[in-house]
Each structure stands twice: as structure tokens, then as C-alpha cells.
Amino acid sequence: MRLQPLIVPGWNNSGPTHWQSLWEACLPRAVRVQQRDWTSPDVHEWTCALAAAIEAAPRPPLLIAHSLGCITVCHLPLRIREKVAGALLVAPADVEREGAPEALRSFCPIPMQTLPFQSVVVASTNDPYCSLERAREFAQAWGSRFEQIENGGHINADSGFGAWPHGLKLLAALRRRAHWRIPIAPCRTPPLPPPHSAGPQHRSPHRASH
């Protein structure tokens, strides 16, 4: 089954040279989740916008999140999380770190529950907005695979990342793993009649078809 790529940018959105923008232009059916206010993020408003995009998706959504977008994904209510096929969580922003901007405080505390879908956390060894140790904690808490990038900064355009072909490979691998968890209605065998109703037409349980 095909998936619906949803681009989930972080604080101040992703500019035209950011890999998220380049992917949006090249991935079939990719849609960017739009926020009313990119400069003054509010966790409730951002989460509602993402939830609405997931609900509106014509296919199971594959989330492609960066920075504060990763934290937004983790704030989704459980009933919405269960509709997600998978998530690529790149350079999650540690909004609880010392010196974090006050504008991001509404996203605290960061949810640390296991995500009910396939996910990958991609983190850099020198991200100024999240230590490698903290990113590992996120991955472990969320039940995500962990991918480490050496000296990748915040894994954005300012760090020298263009179309980021390695990221596309990670996305393709995630997409393949996400296929299996898309719910498919099972073909159920009708239950056998109770013993007391057995009659001439009753078939032995041992001969029931499956």
C-alpha cells in the first residue's frame, strides 16, 4: 500500500534550500504540514494542525519531521498516533535543555512514551540544540531506531545538507518496514455453533474450513 509523506518542519519552518523542502518537491504526493504561526509556536496549535493533516491524509501517513517537528509528533494524542504508518525524526530539538528559548517552553515536558509505529531518530554528534546522549534517550524512550551522523550540526541547510541522499535512503528503509503495520481487515471464519445447538447440519470442529 502506498503511504502519504507528510513534511513536519520545526521552528521558523524550513526554507527553500532545506532538505525537507527539496524532498517535498521530489517525493510523490508529499504535503507540508502548515502552521499558522511559525515564529511563536504553541504546542496545542501545532499538534492540532498535525493531527488535522493526518486525519485528512488519503493514505496512511509517513511523517518526515525535523527539530521541533519531532517533538510535535510525540505530543500527538494516542488515537491520532495509531493512524501513523511511520516517522523519520531528524535532529529532535531538546526544548528542556538549559538555555532553550522561552518561545519553546509550551512543548515541555517532552513525552517519553513508546510510539506505536515504526520510527527512526537521526541525530548528529555536534547538534547545538540536542546532545547526542539526549537524542539516544529519546530514541530509547520512543522505541525508535537510532542513526548517528558525525559532525552534522542541526542536520539542516546551515550545516551543509542539501537534498541529503542518505536521508532518502533512511526514509526508503523506514517505508519498507512501515508496510507491515498498516491494518488490513482479516478474513474471519464464522464461529462454530455452541454444542447444545448441534443438529443434523452441524459439522465437527475438526473439519471446519479455515
Q: Render pLDDT for 138-191 as a digit per residue (tens, 0 to 9).
A: 999 999 999 999 999 999 999 999 999 999 999 999 999 985 444 444 444 444
* 1 pLDDT tier (thresholds 50, 70, 90): low
In the chain the first and final C-alpha atoms are separated, in Å, by 25
Asked if 93 and 71 count as a contact pair (C-beta separation under 8 A), the reply is yes
Please give the Cα distance from 7 to 14 (Å, whole number): 10
Q: Where are the beta strands (DSSP E) in the chain?
A: 4-8, 31-32, 61-66, 86-90, 118-124, 145-149
Mean pLDDT of the chain: 89
* 129 pLDDT tier (thresholds 50, 70, 90): very high
* 194 pLDDT tier (thresholds 50, 70, 90): low
Q: What percent of the chain is helix, strand and coil (3-state, nearest 5)?
A: 35, 15, 50
Q: Note the pLDDT tens digit of each residue in 35-74.
A: 999 999 999 999 999 999 999 999 999 999 999 999 999 9
Q: Where are the beta strands (DSSP E) in 93-144?
A: 118-124
Domains and CATH numbers, the chain: 4-182 (3.40.50.1820)
* Per-residue pLDDT, 178: 86
Mean pLDDT, rounded, for 180-203: 46
Torsions phi, psi for 32 (to 5 deg): -90, 135
